[in-house]
Amino acid sequence: MSEAQRPDELTRAVEAVLFAAEQPMSAVEIGEHLGGADVRDALAELASHYDGRGVELVKRGPRWHMQTAPDLAHLLRREREEPKRLTRAATECLAIIAYHEPVSRAEIESIRGVQTAKGTLDTLMEAGWVRAAGRREVPGRPVIYATTPDFLTHFGLASRRDLPGLAELRAAGLLEPVEEALEREMISPTGSDEAPDADIKDEDAERDSPPSLDMGDESA
């Protein structure tokens, strides 16, 4: 490599930090690690350099990380772990949170039309896909929920703008039976924080086996 092609020291330092990082890092975190440097140009240069290679530099939300190219990931998997399954109730909650965040539990229940067991949200939080994002400034100050960067990483999304449309979700079987409510809510603002009638039962224990979602790490 000629001197003209050799990356500058900052770009090399950013590359080294990313290779050593145990978790994806934002540009601000990388810059702070390197003494407050502005690393945006270095990240853009590295992303271009690794484009199409066996290892790629990708951005998920605000965070950057190195990963095996998706078409080569199977070469590095010696064993495939049995995927964990989300219940249909959890799948519905995840979809509602992703499209409406931040959203309260009562708002989730309003869209689904049934009460949501606390364990359903706990499952999504334990998976690392949903987080508590504060409290709604209304009477009772309910907790509101949002997706995490790990949600974007697992599903290969650069941002929530890359979420599939309703037609794609319906084709995958992830909207029925809440698709009409989702369509209505995507057109109009999310409903109030009022909980549904107390006699509406939680569907967690009543629904059939859900469509499977692999909760394993897709990146190598």
Task: Please determine, for residue 144, whether its predicted confidence score (pLDDT) is greater than 70.
Answer: yes
Report which of 110, 130, 125 is spatially closest to residue 181, judged by C-alpha positions: 110
pLDDT at residue number 166: 62
Whether 205 is covered by a domain: the verdict is: no
φ and ψ at residue 120, rounded to 5 degrees:
-65, -50
Residues 62 and 102 in one domain: no
* Among 76, 98, 116, residue at a domain's last position: 76
Whether 61 is covered by a domain: the verdict is: yes
DSSP code of 85? Answer: -
pLDDT at residue number 73: 75
Task: Please determine, for residue 142, whether its predicted confidence score (pLDDT) is greater than 70.
Answer: yes
Higher pLDDT, 211 or 27: 27
∠ CA 166-169-173 to the nearest 5 degrees? 135
Pick from 14-18, 150-154, 197-201, 213-217: least confident: 197-201
Whether 112 is covered by a domain: the verdict is: yes
**C-alpha distance from residue 20 to each of 13, 23, 39 (Å):** 11, 9, 16
**143-147: strand order across its sheet:** 103-104, 143-147, 130-135
Residues 15 and 71 in one domain: yes
Whether 204 is covered by a domain: the verdict is: no
pLDDT at residue number 149: 86
Residues 55 and 131 in one domain: no
Structure tokens at 156: 């290969």
What's the rounded Cα separation, in Å, for the pair 2 and 6? 6
* Among 28, 43, 76, residue at a domain's last position: 76
pLDDT at residue number 211: 40
Residues 60 and 122 in one domain: no
Report which of 38, 199, 43, 185 is spatially closest to residue 115, judged by C-alpha positions: 199
pLDDT at residue number 181: 52
What's the rounded Cα separation, in Å, for the pair 100 and 147? 10
Specify the CATH number for the domain of residue 17. 1.10.10.10
Residues 95 and 71 in one domain: no
Residues 31 and 57 in one domain: yes
Residues 59 and 130 in one domain: no
Residues 140 and 173 in one domain: yes
| % of residues, the chain, pLDDT over 70 | 67
What's the rounded Cα separation, in Å, for the pair 15 and 132? 32
Mean pLDDT of 56-82: 78
Q: What is the pTM of this model?
A: 0.47
Whether 31 is covered by a domain: the verdict is: yes
Residues 37 and 104 in one domain: no
pLDDT at residue number 158: 77
Residues 150 and 120 in one domain: yes
Pick from 2-11, 24-33, 194-203: least confident: 194-203
* Among 43, 76, 109, residue at a domain's last position: 76
pLDDT at residue number 27: 93
Mean pLDDT of 136-142: 87
Mean pLDDT of 164-186: 56
Task: Please determine, for residue 194, whether its predicted confidence score (pLDDT) is greater than 50.
Answer: no
DSSP code of 132? Answer: E
The domain total for the chain is 2
Residues 104 and 17 in one domain: no
Residue reference for tokens 């095996």: 68
How would residue 43 be classed by pLDDT, with cut points 50, 70 and 90? very high
How would residue 71 be classed by pLDDT, with cut points 50, 70 and 90? confident
Residues 92 and 147 in one domain: yes
pLDDT at residue number 78: 58
> Residue 180: how many CB atoms within 10 A of its CB?
11
pLDDT at residue number 72: 83
Whether 218 is covered by a domain: the verdict is: no
Task: Please determine, for residue 146, whether its predicted confidence score (pLDDT) is greater than 60.
Answer: yes
**Which residues constitute the domain of residue 14?**
9-76
Whether 45 is covered by a domain: the verdict is: yes
Whether 213 is covered by a domain: the verdict is: no
